[in-house]
Amino acid sequence: MKQLQVITGCMFAGKTTELLNRLNLLKEQYLLVKPMMDNRIEGDQISTHNGIAKRAIRVNNLSEIFKNLTNIKVVGIDEAQFFNKSIIQDLKYLKSQNIKVIIAGLDKDYLNKPFGSMKDIISLSDSVTRLKAICNYCSQEASYSHRKNTVSQNQFLIGNKNFYEALCESCFQKINCENGK
């Protein structure tokens, strides 16, 4: 059994959709979690770009769910890149409790640099699924998240199509060269 599964890729690649699909196929009771920092959706919901929504627990640290694990066999985590480094110890604890974890998150930021603790999460995982999006410019496979808003240099600028688009490597390089990056 693959206890720690990671679903990753650029923005708009379908990570949340894949997470919800995997959870829906399970026969076990699960708990769905998202970081408090992710404030894009009103209330305690995880939502796909296709409009599918599920109720989730919002927490600052994954350890906050430990009191809710009675009869829980699986934990689903969305937007894992927004959790702080304590998520690594929390994931190890969940594994020690024989709880399966399915994680969705961006592995790279808009500068194509490792995002949050995702690199460490991936190294801890039993399986990694890398999804691709469609390039906004040429319709090829995209694996880069490009930030359209260059005013903020903060790695944690939360947004959707208002701030980001998916690009293939060629378009990503071209746009970054044009912008002097």
Q: Provide the CB-side half-sphere exposure for 3 (13 A, CA).
A: 10
pLDDT of residue 59: 94
> What proportion of the chain, given as a percentage, has pLDDT over 90?
66
pLDDT score at 124: 95
**pLDDT tens per residue across span 38-87:** 765 566 878 777 777 788 999 999 999 999 999 999 999 999 999 999 99
Q: What does each C-alpha distance from 49 to 18, 120, 172, 180 come to in angstroms?
A: 12, 27, 22, 31
If one compares 116 and 53, the residue with the highest pLDDT of the two is: 116
pLDDT of 155 strictly over 90: no
Element (H, E) at 87: helix 87-96
Q: Is 79 a catalytic residue?
A: yes
Q: Is the pLDDT assigned to residue 154 strictly greater than 60?
A: no
| pTM of structure | 0.88
State the pLDDT at residue 15.
96
Determine the Cα–Cα distance for residues 91 and 65; give it in Å rounded to an integer.
Answer: 11
Confidence (pLDDT) at 148: 77
Which residue ranges form the domains of the chain, and what is each CATH number? 4-131 (3.40.50.300)
Record the tokens describing residue 135, joined without a space. Answer: 């390039």
The pLDDT value given to residue 150: 63
Q: Which helix (H) or strand (E) holds 94?
A: helix 87-96
- Catalytic residue among 79, 141, 165, 178, which? 79
Q: Bridge-partner residues for 30, per DSSP? A: 74
Percent of the chain past pLDDT 70, that is, above it, reads 86
